[in-house]
Amino acid sequence: MKQIIRLLILLALVDAAGAAPAIVKPVKSNQPFVELDPSRIVELAVMLPEKARGFGAPCSDRSVWSALATNASFKKAVVTATRQLGNELPPWSDDLYLDYSRTGKRPAGEKMMGNRHGLIRQLVWAECIENQGRFMPDIEKMLLEYAQEPTWTLPAHDRNLSCFKGTAYSVDLASSAFGHELAQVLWLLGDKISAGTCAKVMGALEQRIFAPLRESFRTGKGNGWLHAEMNWNPVCLSGGVGAALAVLPDRRDRALFAAAGEHYSRYYLAGFSPDGYLGEGMGYWNYGMSHFLLLREQLWQTTRGKVDLFADAKVRNAALYGINAEMVSGFYPAIADCRWGTKPSEEVLWYLSRALGLGLRRYENTYNPMNPSDLVFAPMRIFPNSLSAVKSAGIAREGLGLRYFFEQAGVLVCRTAPDAGPPMGAALKGGHNDEPHNHNDVGSFTFVVGKEAFVADPGGPFVYSSKTFGKERYTAFKLFSSLGHDVPVVAGRAQIPGKLARAKILATKFSGTSDEISMDIASAYDAPELKKLVRTFVFDRRSETLKVSDDFEFNRPAAFEVALTTRAEWQQVAPDKIELRAGGERVVAEIQAPGGVTITSETIAEDSPAFTRIGLKLKDPLASGKVVVLLSSVKTAK
């Protein structure tokens, strides 16, 4: 009874504050939701402003926009938009959209959609800056074309073509982001957009974003990313929630979406280990974390700071993944589907450092937020936000330290001291084979000397296809299989996928001079004859070496092979030695193996930069043994 009375009082407060007239169906206060608390929805409704609002200031606020007009970046936006005037949108093509359903290839349809959807941005910035109406005809025409597109969902995420056919809509990475941008256009331009055009865009948003999400909030079915512990969760949430907060007229309806953002975003944080490790790798950390902070900013602004997703203690370590995963010289391991060479986003670290007081002066002092690019992140950065009144942390964070151990994930990052020359670093991965965007890589490693990676995780593909996430993922591609990684091949077998394929950390020993970690990786192989497989890494700062030892035992003699994966130039200089060269640096790999090894090489290029797999296979099957690869940095004359 007390809860009912409380709900009635809160509802009365919302009504007294004056909710805007609804032009879409409002949420009923007694409507059941499988996970969302109706009382929390009502509480949030009290916190929300009477009218919907998005990021930035509406075009009608001339004092704000006139001040921006003198900025060089904004002047450039007007010049760019002027060149676009009168240009037609690239045509929508059903044939290109359907290419994925025919061939399993993604680029054609995605490029067609991307070429259309990005063109409105500079026109909107230019109109807000000038406020003369000369960009509005083109903007209106584009909005009408966007509303009439069959779908905003990517072909690869519309496998049964229900979105394309209009029989049922679901929300994906692309539709949520594009829907959010369209909502921002309506918010920024306001009544400069004709009522008819506005109604059609609102109708499309309702059909493709809001209605499917309300149904999932109510039933718990569809849009499975709501429970995903990966990047899809914050990306789709921030888009759907952001669009709702920017344009939905009924405050209780907006409160439903705010409650969903607050609640379901917890699943994303659950994808991080307590010490901040993310199995998806740096590329997806950039993608997911950028949208998590976007969602945080949306809820913070619209509730005037009463809801803050960064209040969760887990956020700080998750934020620091972008720092703690660095080896040396700006190198990060390309774990899982992370593309080779990916680094943390300067924009993300700028925001996180200020918001969480991390003291990352390198990013706080160099990143320039005044860039009118897209219509979501840019307005969030440029206009007053949660960071506006925040001062930099009193103490700057300097240096990385000698190591960072993601203990719960079983991943160790080792570094030499800052004054070492050349610097040396390594990332040593335990983990398991059921991580998001997983590669079968239990026991893999990356070794960096100077500004070059000599032995490294090859990273993920630059282009996805229907096979990428299908049943052939680990058989059609060596890039995803352990056969494309620097891990053992046991009795002719590669690693198996799944959580059971998991490294068990046996021991660690850390000091100022060396770091040692030992892990049992036998469970990663479906090999009945295998009795023991322990991989031990020793990172020695004094000798400038990384030693990789594999101690194995079978119940009968069997084949055993280890591998080095590299993009460096290499040559065999002795029966038991390989020299690797890159960027003026040299590393020698010395192999110690009973009976010696046969050295083979294979170039692998599967929708990613090519790399070489150097196989080191024992010449004879053995019942037990130990293979050691000692990687040594070699001083070179400069």
**CATH numbers and ranges of domains, the chain:** 2-380 (1.50.10.100), 403-634 (2.70.98.70)
Across 375-382, average pLDDT? 97
Across 435-451, average pLDDT? 96
**Mean of the per-residue pLDDT values for the chain?**
93
Q: Which residues, 6+ apart, have CB-to-CB distance to 565 below 8 Å?
A: 455, 456, 457, 458, 484, 485, 486, 611, 612, 613, 614
Across 187-193, average pLDDT? 98
pLDDT score recorded for residue 129: 97
pLDDT score recorded for residue 276: 96
Q: How sure is the predictor about 1, in pLDDT bands with cuts at 50, 70 and 90?
A: very low
pLDDT score recorded for residue 397: 82
Q: Is 80 exceeded by the pLDDT of residue 10?
A: no
Q: How sure is the predictor about 496, in pLDDT bands with cuts at 50, 70 and 90?
A: very high
Closest residue by Cα to residue 56 from 371, 302, 379, 298: 379
How many Å apart are CA 465 and CA 326, to the nearest integer? 30
Distance (Å) of CA 422 to CA 328, 340, 399: 10, 22, 16
Q: Is 50 exceeded by the pLDDT of residue 24?
A: no
Contact assessment for residue 549 and residue 562, using Cβ atoms and an 8 Å cutoff? no
Across 552-570, average pLDDT? 98
Across 438-444, average pLDDT? 97
Sheet of 560-566: strand order equals 489-490, 560-566, 611-618, 597-604
Q: Is 90 exceeded by the pLDDT of residue 234?
A: yes
Q: How sure is the predictor about 367, in pLDDT bands with cuts at 50, 70 and 90?
A: confident
Estimate to the nearest angstrom the gap between the alpha carbon of 322 and the chain centroid.
Answer: 11
Closest residue by Cα to residue 459 from 283, 321, 630, 303: 283
pLDDT score recorded for residue 18: 39
Q: Is 90 exceeded by the pLDDT of residue 447?
A: yes
Across 586-601, average pLDDT? 97
Paired residues of 617 in beta bridges:
561, 598
pLDDT score recorded for residue 321: 96
Q: How sure is the predictor about 614, in pLDDT bands with cuts at 50, 70 and 90?
A: very high
Please name the helix (run of DSSP H) or strand (run of DSSP E) that holds residue 262, with its range, or none: helix 251-270
Across 337-365, average pLDDT? 94
pLDDT score recorded for residue 201: 98
Q: How sure is the predictor about 32, in pLDDT bands with cuts at 50, 70 and 90?
A: confident
Closest residue by Cα to residue 145 from 185, 98, 204: 204
How many Å apart are CA 218 and CA 206, to the nearest integer? 16
Q: Is 80 exceeded by the pLDDT of residue 68?
A: yes
How many Å apart are CA 35 and CA 42, to the nearest integer? 15
pLDDT score recorded for residue 419: 85
Q: Is 50 exceeded by the pLDDT of residue 16?
A: no
Q: Is 50 exceeded by the pLDDT of residue 189?
A: yes
Q: How sure is the predictor about 604, in pLDDT bands with cuts at 50, 70 and 90?
A: very high
Q: Is 50 exceeded by the pLDDT of residue 266?
A: yes
pLDDT score recorded for residue 347: 95
- Number of residues that make up the chain: 638
pLDDT score recorded for residue 14: 43
Buried b (16+ CB within 10 A) or exposed e, 476-503: ebbbbbbbbbbbbbbbebbbbbeeebbb
pLDDT score recorded for residue 126: 98
Q: Is 70 exceeded by the pLDDT of residue 76?
A: yes
Q: How sure is the predictor about 56, in pLDDT bands with cuts at 50, 70 and 90?
A: very high
Q: Give 386-439 pLDDT, tens digit per residue.
A: 999 898 888 888 778 999 999 999 999 999 998 888 999 999 999 999 999 999
Q: How sure is the predictor about 637, in pLDDT bands with cuts at 50, 70 and 90?
A: low
Across 18-35, average pLDDT? 51
Q: Is 50 exceeded by the pLDDT of residue 26?
A: no
Q: How sure is the predictor about 545, in pLDDT bands with cuts at 50, 70 and 90?
A: very high
Asked whether the CA dihedral 497, 499, 500, 506 is positive or negative, the reply is: positive
DSSP 206: I
Across 593-614, average pLDDT? 96
pLDDT score recorded for residue 9: 39
What is the percent of the chain where pLDDT is above 70?
Answer: 95
Angle among Cα 617, 619, 622 to the nearest 5 degrees reads 95
